[in-house]
């Protein structure tokens, strides 16, 4: 009985979190997306989980550019700032590599190459300070504009990074991109942050700015909030372990009999 009451409390908390996410997402969710978000369940997570969020690029480094000329850096930052708010509400301790449109190289460093090197080392320090997991938020680009969809990258040598990537990828498909057939991708030393940190880490490529339709979505406040909310659910699944669920709820025989 006591366990059942506790489960109902968690369910109510989860419903509130989902409702909050829907409000954040705005009124432009289509009916199918609303149904997927509204049917989600949230599992409770321990407090003081330490997380690092990296808003990729910044300052003179704009990253890739959308078909209408919008640089990636601002999209990344907006998602990261929203993500921090959502994860903080859910009880995580969140550190950001940057909170404004600038690179984070050390003062006095001159020359683009040295500034970039310093910038990446400082981002790595933030990743290393987070004992539980880290996410670097980016956008993708390709010469063929047909390609779309989020994809998660992780270090081949980090099994926890692989598990985090799988959780995030699944949630993008479950809640936001049901037609996304992309698989998580292991990398070696080509992605500095993933290669150098021992913290379970993922580079989350949230979509393709080279795809006109997806670029338009990523340039909208509503969709960026949806992306941040989706990443939050992946974090909940990851930190909640194999028993955590963030999919359609299942009604048990016991609940039906009540």
Query: For the chain, first and last CA: distance in Å?
Result: 12
Domain 47-243: CATH superfamily is Zn-dependent exopeptidases (3.40.630.40)
From CA 149, how far away is CA 24, in angstroms rounded?
21
CA dihedral of 23, 92, 237, 225, whole degrees rounded to 10: 30
pLDDT in single tens digits along all 258 residues of the chain: 433 433 333 344 444 555 455 444 544 455 555 555 555 555 555 567 999 999 999 999 999 999 899 999 999 999 999 999 999 999 999 999 999 999 999 999 999 999 999 999 999 999 999 999 999 999 999 999 999 999 999 999 999 999 999 999 999 999 999 999 999 999 999 999 999 999 999 999 999 999 999 999 999 999 999 999 999 999 999 998 543 444 443 334 444 444
Local structure of 85: helix, strand or coil = helix
Q: Give the number of other CB atoms < 10 A from CB of residue 211.
A: 22
């Amino acid at each position: 009985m006591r366990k059942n009451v506790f489960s109902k409390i968690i369910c109510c908390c989860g419903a509130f979190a989902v409702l909050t996410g829907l409000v954040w997402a705005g009124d432009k969710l289509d009916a199918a997306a609303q149904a997927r978000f509204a049917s989600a369940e949230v599992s409770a997570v321990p407090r003081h989980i330490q997380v690092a969020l990296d808003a990729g690029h910044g300052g003179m480094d704009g990253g890739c550019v959308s078909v209408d000329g919008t640089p990636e850096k601002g999209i990344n930052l907006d998602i990261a700032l929203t993500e921090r708010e959502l994860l903080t509400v859910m009880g995580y301790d969140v550190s950001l590599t940057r909170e404004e449109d600038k690179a984070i190289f050390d003062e006095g460093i001159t020359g683009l190459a040295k500034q970039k090197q310093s910038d990446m080392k400082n981002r790595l320090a933030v990743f290393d300070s987070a004992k539980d997991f880290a996410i670097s938020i980016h956008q993708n680009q390709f010469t063929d504009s047909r390609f779309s969809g989020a994809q998660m990258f992780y270090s081949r040598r980090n099994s926890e990074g692989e598990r985090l990537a799988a959780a995030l990828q699944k949630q993008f498909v479950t809640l936001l991109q049901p037609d996304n057939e992309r698989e998580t991708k292991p990398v070696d030393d080509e992605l500095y942050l993933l290669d150098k940190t021992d913290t379970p880490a993922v580079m989350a490529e949230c979509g393709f700015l080279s795809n006109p339709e997806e670029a338009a979505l990523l340039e909208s406040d509503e969709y960026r909030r949806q992306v941040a909310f989706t990443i939050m659910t992946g974090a909940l699944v990851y930190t909640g372990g194999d028993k955590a669920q963030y999919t359609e709820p299942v009604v048990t025989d016991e609940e039906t009999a009540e």
